[in-house]
Amino acid sequence: MSLRQTLGMDLVDLLIHVGITGALMGVVGVSSGPEELYPFLTGLSLLVLGVRRAIALRSMARRGLVSGEMAAERIAELEQRMAELESSAQGRIMELEERLDFTERMLVRGSAEPQVSEPGGGRS
């Protein structure tokens, strides 16, 4: 299972989260802040990570990206659509080829017939 499916975020997002947490702990350490803030910051970081995870996984579930079965169903559906589009396109191409053949026959037949002009300039 990938990190994105487990946490709802990729490695870059996780590294940014850890980096921000580390930076906050560094600020507390450099400023000679109370050491009791370390567990508090760790807990707060885990809480924020949990909230981000829940939001991301819920968003992914709405888009149908969580379950492998759902992904397989979507792929099968897309393959079926592609097959339908290909058969439809093939039918249209065959119809256009028939029309082109007919037009070519008409042009050949039209140029083979002698042009007969009517006496009197063709007026009735």
> Could you tell me the residue ranges of all domains in the chain?
1-66, 67-111
- Residues in CB range of 84: below 8 A, 6 or more apart: none
Lowest-confidence segment of 21-25, 65-69, 92-96, 98-102 by average pLDDT: 65-69
pTM of the model: 0.46
Q: Which residue has the tokens 């065959």?
A: 94
Instruction: Read off the pLDDT of each residue in 51-67 and give the average, rounded to a whole number.
Output: 74
Tokens of 4: 């994105």
Taking alpha carbons only, the member of 6, 92, 14 closest to residue 54 is 6
Instruction: Give yes or no for residue 81 having a pLDDT over 50.
Output: yes
pLDDT of the residue at 124: 47
